[in-house]
Structure 1
Amino acid sequence: MTTVADKLARKSSQKSSSKQVRLRLVYIDFWSALKLSFLAAIAIAIVTVVSFLLVYLVVDTTGLIGKVDEFFTSLSDGGVSIRQFIGLPQVMAFSAIVAILNLVVVTVMGAVVAGIYNLAVKVTGGLLVGFTSN
């Protein structure tokens, strides 16, 4: 007749190379989630501004803006020029506005997700995470 103590003794005699720990994530700190999402939003904002700049430079270098400008000028008998609306300052201003809006939205969404997770943990019991040490 084997008892639970005998089974545990047999398990403990088998040495494993790494120790496993299973933890349950039951709370995400609101301010930590807010700070982390803000840092991620800053990275996304930098990528947004740089990508807008690179796309504009590529489109301008290929002459696509000039061709579109000629097309609209011919349609409007010289009254409308695309160059008035699409230039480097306008593109950079638009990219800055988009980056700032993304910064706010991503930061708020990170905080909202942390709050929703903290509420959902009360129902589900949390997320089971396993760790090993090597």
Structure 2
Amino acid sequence: MSSVAEKLAKKSNRRTSTKQVRLKLVYIDFWSSVKLSFLIAICLAIVTVVATFLVYTVLGSTQVLEKANALYTDIAGSSSDLLSILSIGNVMGFAVVIAILNTVVITALGAIFALLYNLSVKLTGGLLVGFTNN
């Protein structure tokens, strides 16, 4: 099957001063994709935990949590306490659980992407990529 990129590559017969190489990406290694997506997921997990801690620290130092607790106490009654629910331990525990779940999901998506791409190459012929040296 001929793709649009191949037709355009054949039409460009003009000589350029830079060297150009056109390659087709016809296979993505499954385990390389899984490893790369796992590393990206670990980086995002660290960013999630650190960002959660920073946001919680800023909300605590600006007294936003205390004002929200006062509003919650006025609405729900004097026996309820929002700060006991939103303690640093609970918030960071939730952030760690979310980071672990995101790591599993992103790693699985990387594996699924590699499998789907390798299956779709049989229909599409691959992705045409061009490189130049400037």
TM-score, with structure 2 as normaliser: 0.84
Deviation at 1:60, TM superposition (A): 1.0
Calculate percent identity across the aligned residue pairs: 51
Residue identity matched to 1:90: N
Write the distance in 1 (CA, Å) between the matches of 2:124 and 2:75.
Answer: 62
Gaps of 5+ in 1: 1-10
Residue 37 of structure 2 corresponds to residue 37 of structure 1: yes
Alignment of 1:1-134 (within 5 A): 17-134=17-134
Deviation at 1:22, TM superposition (A): 0.6
Aligned length: 122
Deviation at 1:40, TM superposition (A): 0.4
Write the distance in 2 (CA, Å) between the matches of 1:114 and 1:123.
Answer: 15
Deviation at 1:64, TM superposition (A): 1.1
Write the distance in 1 (CA, Å) between the matches of 2:98 and 2:48.
Answer: 8
Residue identity matched to 2:102: N
Write the distance in 2 (CA, Å) between the matches of 1:20 and 1:75.
Answer: 68
Q: Computing the radius of gyration over CA atoms, which structure comes out larger, 1 or 2?
A: 1
Q: Where in structure 1 do 4 or more consecutive aligned residues deviate above 6 Å?
A: none
Gaps of 5+ in 2: 1-12
Deviation at 1:80, TM superposition (A): 0.6
